[in-house]
Amino acid sequence: MSVFIFVVYLVMLVAIGYVTFRKTKSYDDFTLGGRSNNKWISALSTESTDMSSWLLLGLPGMAFTSGYGSIWLLIGLLFGTFFNWAVVAGKLRRITEYYHSITLMEFFENRLGDKSGVLATIAGLVIVVFMTVNSSAEVIGSGKLMTAAFGVSYRSGMYIGIAIALVYTFLGGFLAISWSNLVQGTLMIIALVLVPAAALSRVGGGSGLATSLLSQDKNLLSLFSGVTGFWPIVALITGGLGVGICYPGQPHVITTYMGMKDPKEVKASTVIAMIWVGVTCYGAVIIGMMGRSMFPTIEDPEQTFLLLAKALFSVKMIGFFAAAVMSALLSSLSAYLLTAAASFASGTYRRIAKVTDDRKLVVVQRVAIVVISAIAMLLSLQGGLVYKVALFATAGLGACFAPLVLFSLYSSRVNTKGAIWSMVVGMATVLLWWNLGLSKYVYEAVPGLIASTITLLVVSKLTGGPDKSVKETFLDFVSKDTHRKSLHMGGEARVNQ
Amino acid sequence: MSIGTATFFFFLPFFLSLIAAVAFFYSKDEEGGR
C-alpha cells in the first residue's frame, strides 16, 4: 500500500509531463509556459521551487540542533520571500513582457543593450554551474530518501529521482514544472501540518514540548541558541537574515514570476505564498524540535521528519510522507534543470551558433536537459564536493544576480560593463570569503552583495553609464508602467533582435 | 528572557509576515491608472 501511493504519485508526474507536452508548441510555451500561470499555480510553483528537499530534511535538522535559534533563518526566509514578491515579482513580470524577454538572459541583454553576448555568456555559465550542482545535491537526496523510506539501494534511489524529473521536464518544460509544483506544493504543506500536529498531541502540546526540551538543554529555548560573544551572534544573525537578501538573485525562483498570466494577480499570489512559506517553514522547525524531544539521540538529525512520520502514523502512510519529501526535491530539481537549459540555450548557445529560429532553441533546451541531468547524476556519485559547492550556491547566486536584477528593474544608471564586473566581483568575494573561513564571523552573502552592488554602480558610472537609446527605452517602460494605460505594452524594445 | 517571551518572539515573524502580505494585498498602487 505504502509503495503503491508513492508509485501513483510518480505516475501522476509523468502524466502531467505528457499532458503539458501536448500543450507545449513553441519556444515561449516550453520556456515560460506561454505566461499562463494563475495566482495559485504561480504562488505554489514559486515557493515549492524555492524550497528544495532542504525544507523537509535540512531545516528540521537545523531546528533539532538549534531550537528557537532558528528564528533568524525563519525571518530571513519569510521576509526574503515577501520582499521578492512585493518588489521583484510584478515588476519583473511586466518588464520582461515589455522587453519581449522569455528568459533572464534575454532580459539582461535586452534591458542593458548588450550586443557583444559577453553578459549573457557569463551569466549563463554561472547559472548552469550552480544549477547543475544544486541538481546533483537533490539527486543525492533522492538516493537517501528512497533508502530510508523503502529500503531501495542508494544508487537506484538516485536514478529514480533524476529519471522522473528528467522525463516530465523534458516533455512539458515550464508548464510541466508549474502544474506538478501545484500538486507537489500541496503535498508538502499537508505533510508539514500533519506531522507536527500529530507530534504535538503526542508530547502534550506546547508546554509538554517546552518541558521536554528544557530538560535536555535550556539553550534550545533561547533565541540565540545560547551563543555568546559578538562575532558568533553576528554570524548567527547574518547567516539567517542573509539568506533573505539573496532572494532576488535566485534565477530558478524569479523565473516563475515571469510565467504569471496576469501581473495584477501578484498581490493575491503574495498572500498565498506567504501562508504557504510560513506554515511549511514553521512546520519544519517544529518537527525538528519535536524530534529532539522524542528522539534526542538520533544519529542524523536530517532524518527527523521521516522518523517522526514513521513513529506517529501507520506504515501505510509512509508512501505519502516519502512522496512529500520527493515533492520538495523534484519541484526544485526540475526547475534547476530547466533554468540551466534555458540559460544555456538563450544565453550561450544562441550567441555561439547565431540561432535566429526560436524553435531550434526548444530542441537545444531538451538536449541540454538530458546532458545536464547526466552530468548531475555523475557529479552526485562524487558526493562531498557537490555538497560543498551547493552550500554557497544561494550566496553565490545572490551576490551575482540580486543587485543586477534589482537595478535593472528600478534604475536607469546601470550598463553592461557594470553588470559583468558586478557578477565577477560578487562571485569572487563570496568564494574568497568562504575559502578564507571568514563565514564564521559574517555570512559570505553579505560582503558578496555589498561588493557586487558597489561594483555595479561604480563601473557603470566610470564607463559612462548606459547608452542613450538604452536609457530612453527603459524610461519609456517606466512611463508606460507608471500609467499602465494598456495591458500590452512594448513593441520597439527588442534592442538586440 | 522567560520561555513565554521567547516563544512570543519566536512566532512573531510568522504573524508579521502574514500581516505584511495582507497589507500589500490591500495597498493601493501608487502609480494609479487602474
Distance, in angstroms, between A111 CA and closest chain B CA?
22
Question: Which one is predicted more confidently, A428 or A386?
Answer: A428
Q: How far apart are CA A316 and CA A321, in angstroms?
A: 10
Query: Which residues does chain B have within 8 Å of residue A206's beta carbon, measured at their own beta carbons?
Result: 7
What is the Cα–Cα distance from A101 to A117, expressed in whole angstroms? 15
The Cα A425–Cα A403 span in angstroms is 12
A321-356 confidence digits (pLDDT tens): 999 999 999 999 999 999 999 999 988 888 888 887
Record: contact A71-B9, CB cut-off 8 A: yes
Split at pLDDT 50, 70, 90, the class of A229 is confident
Nearest by CB to residue A221, choosing from B6, B22, B32, is: B6
Residue B30 has pLDDT above 70, yes or no: no
| Whole-structure pTM value | 0.93
Measured CA to CA, the distance from residue A315 to residue A262 in angstroms comes to 43
Across all residues in chain A, what is the average pLDDT?
91
d(CA A351, CA A355): 7
Q: What is the pLDDT of residue A316?
A: 87
What lies within 8 Å, CB to CB, of A73 at 6+ separation is A59, A62, A239, A240, A243
Q: Which of A88-102, A223-237, B19-33 has the highest mean pLDDT?
A: A88-102
**Which of A39, A46, A68, A488 to mutate to test binding with chain B, by most B CBs within 10 Å of its CB?**
A68
Chain B positions touching A82 (Cβ under 8 A) are 17, 20-21, 24
pLDDT digits (tens, 9 = 90+) for A417-455: 999 999 999 999 999 998 898 988 889 999 999 999 999
What pLDDT was estimated at residue A353?
83
On the 0-12 / 13-18 / 19+ scale of CB atoms within 10 A, A448 is buried
Q: How far is CA A132 from CA A53, A455, A481, B17, B26, in A?
A: 16, 27, 36, 32, 40
* A296 touches B at CB < 8 Å: no
pLDDT of residue A242: 87
Is the confidence at residue A131, as pLDDT, over 60? yes
Residue A486: pLDDT over 70:
no
Q: What is the pLDDT of residues B13-27, one digit of tens each?
A: 999 999 999 999 999
Angle (deg, nearest 10), helices A416-435 and A104-112: 130
CA distance B5 to chain A (A): 10
**Between B21, B31, B32, which is nearest A270 by CB?**
B21
C-alpha cell at A57: 530534511
CB-CB under 8 Å, B31 with A484: yes
Q: How far does the CA of residue B13 sit from the closest CA of chain A (Å)?
A: 6
Look at B10 and A75 and tell me if their CB atoms are within 8 Å: no
